[in-house]
Structure 1
Amino acid sequence: MDWSAARHLPHSSVAPLPVVTPRTNDALGATLATPLTARLAHPPHDTAAMDGYAVTGQAPWQVVDRVMAGQVPRGPLGAGQAVEIATGAMVPDGTDSVLPYEHATRSGDVVKGTVPSGRHVRRSGEEVPAGTELAPVGTRVTPTVLALAASAGHDTIAVHPRPRVAVVVTGDELVHEGIPGSGRIRDAIGPMMPGLVTWMGAELTGVDHVPDTGDALRSALAAEADVVVTTGASSVGARDQLPRVLTELSAELLVNGVACRPGHPQLLARLGDRHVVGMPGNPLAALVAAVTLLDPLVRALAARPIAPLAEAAVSGEVTSHERMTRLVPVEVEAGWASPVGRDRPGMIWGAALADALAVVPPGWDGRRVGLLPLPPR
């Protein structure tokens, strides 16, 4: 399958996860399923914008009360009266303006000064009237969106939850600590995936290491997750069990191979109520598969769009392939993309120093390239 078609396929074939309504504080990273609206005005009442005196009428003013933030004035202000007031406190009805301390002269219970009418009073609803739409459907719930929801009076919000992703690392040749012996290699993909999954906006349920057997893989695919990601086992070798196991389980194969380098042997399948992303066992090839299929799948399940690719001119030597899209690790600065090198499928060094993967289509004209962002360095 063409690389661009594979990247966009999840949004045409995968439905978002069902809407849930968690407590607002538990919705971080989810996606708004309904518009976020203001349940109350902001400010909710007339408040002081400065420390000083709430006054009405002409100076001098008789100080009749003191109101701190969180307190309610005892009654309205009459002409020639003042109430000592704290920033953010509710001003009495009838307040015309707030005279800041630095502009006031007080003697006993009498205060004098000059302040323009209406100054330093934030009127109820002047920033946000009740019922205002604050954020549209599809907004990702960030810490500041949580703050906005709480300030708008929401104890719960309707969201599409973060997809749950289980990672399954296969490969009898892998070791996970120490220096590998003869015929063995260190696992690089297992340590990469938790941060990658979190960066994509999903919830990692765990990283499982399983042997290269069909039974082990079949058991791992039953993980309690919305997406099961396998590394290795996705090609056509004697130990590549994933295609056979998926066929035996009557999975629906949506993508079986992508015309790109590195990362050609990647797949996407629907298995019951979950999806399976099969990634190659080489680290850079696995990274390419993750940003090609896993990230768009996470976005589709979370009801978030695929972001359009930024573009850059290329500084340095990059060649295209006649049939395949190439994904090349690059540094990006001032609108220029520079290849970092060290980009063979089994080598993650170049990607570790890169800001993005340059998307070099077949027969590229040598001008600008699209940029797939990588987690920030």
Structure 2
Amino acid sequence: MPPSDGPAGPPSDHSPSPGDWLTSLHDDWSDAPAPGERADRADPADRPTGPGVPAAHAGGAPRRPAEPGDRPAAPTGPGPDPADRPTGPGPGVPAAHAGGAPRRPAGPGDRPAAAPDPRPDAPLSGPGRSDRPESHGSDASARPDDSPSEAPRAGGGPSRRPDASSAGGRPGAPQHEAVSWRAARAVATRAGQRGAVRTELLGLGAALGRVLGEPLAALTDLPSFDTSAMDGWAVAGPGPWRIRDGGGILAGHGARAPLPDGEAVRIATGARIPAEVTAVIRSEHAHEAKGLLYAQRSVSQGQDIRPRGQECRSGEILLPAGTVVTPAVLGLAAAAGYDELPVRARPRVDVLVLGDELLTAGLPHDGLIRDALGPMIGPWLHALGAEATPPQRLGDDAEALEKALTGSEADLIVTTGGTAAGPVDHVHRVLDRIGAELLVDGVAVRPGHPMLLARLPSDGPWLVGLPGNPLAAVSGLLTLAGPLLGGLAGRTPDDPYRVAVRDDVHGHPHDTRLVPVVHRAAAGEPGTAGGAEHVVPLHYNGPAMLRGIAAADGLAVVEPGGVRSGTEVEILDLPWASATPWTEGCFT
């Protein structure tokens, strides 16, 4: 297993106390040196490549020069994942040293060595599917991959997708340059915003958490008549005032006769103000004596009266389209005269689970693994504001995939697995065959590099292809599916925010990393409310793992090269972590 995917040493006998289990996940996470390792050991993804860095040192330790008759050294014991070593022709990276150890010059009868995959989250080289068997199963080990690919370009450029024609994948398919993570999110957001707008009318009781499909215009003045703002006395003219017999004015009653000058009448909060009333005097600011009412302080014209239309006039726009319907919005809508609200219809999503190796129940056995994505994707999409159908399990059947795609009536199709270039990775081939348009084909992000975004022909559904590795699929959900669904649902994108990270976080040389984190507040000084907020990176952040993300409340966006402790990083909230109880981001 690559060093970035697993614990940084053997399990400890120490059992953390209930209060520090999240911290213990961090304390032995993959960027920390294991017992017996040098403390300054660098993550393979952070090792420099390119000019001036001999490939023989790619593993972090010098080796003697190759001598005639030497056989290529086979890797032994724990060490850097070949997937993280530079490969292919390029400045300072001799092809003979691609594996990190010197090799003898090729002989006339030698077969060319297969180039290892440069992706930090890729499995080891060998035959098979490029995003399996970690795909869908959080407890799987790496399966070999025989798909050679080009190393990330020197100078910090994004990496390229492998040429499938040399990988047993899509014959003759061109290389596609992976777009940056931010560019991919922007493409997905714009795509969703260009989607057709569908609205529906829902009763106030059913509209909670939805998004207004039209501006909310007042159907009446608010308030619709002059009302008393306080319990007290309605008075007309200057005082003292004669107290009118016959009881007071209560809320909910019709208009009373005009109040003559020099008279006062008791009035309740919310009651309609009679004509000719000049002010309301609060009960505690007046006293009675011999049938007269005296004010204990000066009285101004219109005091404690809410005039008609004070809050809004009929026809005035109260809220714009795209506003999330909160309890306060429901109250405003009711006050403004609404019984139903026009809201955006929730996007409909079909979920297609690919892979012959997946089990839906029981323990893994005989090379089969549990499907971790099928149970997770639907609720995650619901938390993003979508209406997801139960997952369809298609195995590795290209014909079944094509039938499911061309027969879908959803707004969005989400596939899991099959997005790379292995022999049973059918997503690209089927999309080519049906004439789909690829908007994003590979993203410079780890994990999740082979995600894609497409539009099916004739203005058909959008398609987000997720990698099969579980955490890589989460990366695809937050990178492509979330922004796309936000646009389709009419939601306004949240402003990004940044929080300091507690510890050093290693980065990829060229790609963005998404690292599970948990928010914490440092202990404050005595007598204060607390310290500054920060995030703690969590362990178990390999592409095939879910343990870290299950304990997280967000993902840190780590730029290429990594960040030092104390640096502020952008945070992607998980859809339920920042959700209030009434929004679509909860599981009720």
TM-score computed with the length of structure 1 as normaliser:
0.88
8 A Cα contact 1:327 1:358, kept in partner: yes
User: What code does the residue aligned with 2:541 have?
Assistant: D
Alignment pair present for 1:374 and 2:574: yes
167 and 82 in structure 1: CA distance in 2 versus 1, 3 angstrom threshold: farther
Name the CA distance, whole Å, in 2 between partners of 1:233 and 1:289. Answer: 13
User: What code does the residue aligned with 2:551 have?
Assistant: L
Equivalent in 325, 339, 348 of residue 546 of structure 2: 348
- Secondary structure of 1:63's match? coil
Instruction: Give the structure 2 partner of residue 43 of structure 1.
Output: 223
- C-alpha distance after superposition, 1:166-223 (max 9, x if no partner): 2222333333334333423332222322332232222334333333312332343333
8 A Cα contact 1:202 1:298, kept in partner: yes
Name the CA distance, whole Å, in 1 between partners of 2:537 and 2:510. Answer: 21
User: What code does the residue aligned with 1:284 have?
Assistant: L
Instruction: Give the structure 2 partner of residue 330 of structure 1.
Output: 517
Instruction: Give the structure 1 partner of residue 45 of structure 2.
Output: none
User: What code does the residue aligned with 1:293 have?
Assistant: L
Instruction: Give the structure 1 partner of residue 278 of structure 2.
Output: 96
Alignment pair present for 1:11 and 2:222: no
Equivalent in 312, 320, 333 of residue 149 of structure 1: 333
Of 24-33 and 248-257, more deviation after overlay is shown by 24-33
Of 307-316 and 14-23, more deviation after overlay is shown by 14-23
User: What code does the residue aligned with 2:225 have?
Assistant: H
Give the length in aligned residue pairs. 376
Alignment pair present for 1:86 and 2:273: no
351 and 268 in structure 1: CA distance in 2 versus 1, 3 angstrom threshold: same
Instruction: Give the structure 2 partner of residue 20 of structure 1.
Output: 199
- Secondary structure of 2:189's match? helix
Name the CA distance, whole Å, in 2 between partners of 1:369 and 1:74. Answer: 64
Of 217-226 and 311-320, more deviation after overlay is shown by 217-226
Equivalent in 294, 297, 300 of residue 484 of structure 2: 297
Name the CA distance, whole Å, in 2 between partners of 1:91 and 1:260. Answer: 65
Name the CA distance, whole Å, in 2 between partners of 1:89 and 1:214. Answer: 70
C-alpha displacement of 1:268: 0.9
- C-alpha distance after superposition, 1:310-363 (max 9, x if no partner): 122322131111122111111233342321111011111111222221111223
275 and 150 in structure 1: CA distance in 2 versus 1, 3 angstrom threshold: same
8 A Cα contact 2:212 2:343, kept in partner: yes
Of 217-226 and 243-252, more deviation after overlay is shown by 217-226
Of 282-291 and 241-250, more deviation after overlay is shown by 241-250
8 A Cα contact 1:62 1:80, kept in partner: no
Of 190-199 and 97-106, more deviation after overlay is shown by 97-106
111 and 256 in structure 1: CA distance in 2 versus 1, 3 angstrom threshold: farther
8 A Cα contact 1:64 1:81, kept in partner: no
Of 301-310 and 22-31, more deviation after overlay is shown by 22-31
Instruction: Give the structure 1 partner of residue 435 of structure 2.
Output: 250
- Secondary structure of 1:312's match? strand
Name the CA distance, whole Å, in 1 between partners of 2:306 and 2:371. Answer: 59
79 and 12 in structure 1: CA distance in 2 versus 1, 3 angstrom threshold: same
244 and 56 in structure 1: CA distance in 2 versus 1, 3 angstrom threshold: same
C-alpha displacement of 1:61: 1.2
TM-score computed with the length of structure 2 as normaliser:
0.58
Of 317-326 and 67-76, more deviation after overlay is shown by 67-76
Pairwise mapping of residues 1-377 of structure 1 onto structure 2 (< 5 A)?
A: 1-14=179-192, 15-20=194-199, 22-23=201-202, 25=204, 27-57=207-237, 58=239, 59-101=241-283, 112=293, 114=295, 116-117=299-300, 118-155=302-339, 157-221=341-405, 222-271=407-456, 272-333=459-520, 334-364=532-562, 366=564, 367-377=567-577
- C-alpha distance after superposition, 1:118-159 (max 9, x if no partner): 343222122334444322343233333233233223455555
Name the CA distance, whole Å, in 1 between partners of 2:258 and 2:423. Answer: 85
RMSD, aligned α-carbons: 2.8
8 A Cα contact 2:281 2:295, kept in partner: yes
122 and 305 in structure 1: CA distance in 2 versus 1, 3 angstrom threshold: closer
User: What code does the residue aligned with 1:114 have?
Assistant: A
8 A Cα contact 1:17 1:163, kept in partner: no
How much identity, in percent, do the aligned residues show?
44
User: What code does the residue aligned with 1:313 have?
Assistant: A
User: What code does the residue aligned with 2:517 have?
Assistant: V
Structure 1: runs of 5+ lacking an equivalent: none
8 A Cα contact 1:24 1:156, kept in partner: yes
User: What code does the residue aligned with 2:502 have?
Assistant: S
C-alpha displacement of 1:107: 9.7
8 A Cα contact 2:378 2:389, kept in partner: no
Of Structure 1 and Structure 2, the greater strand share is in 1
Greater radius of gyration (CA)? 2
User: What code does the residue aligned with 1:238 have?
Assistant: P
- Secondary structure of 2:201's match? coil
Name the CA distance, whole Å, in 2 between partners of 1:197 and 1:166. Answer: 10
Structure 2: runs of 5+ lacking an equivalent: 1-178, 521-531, 578-588
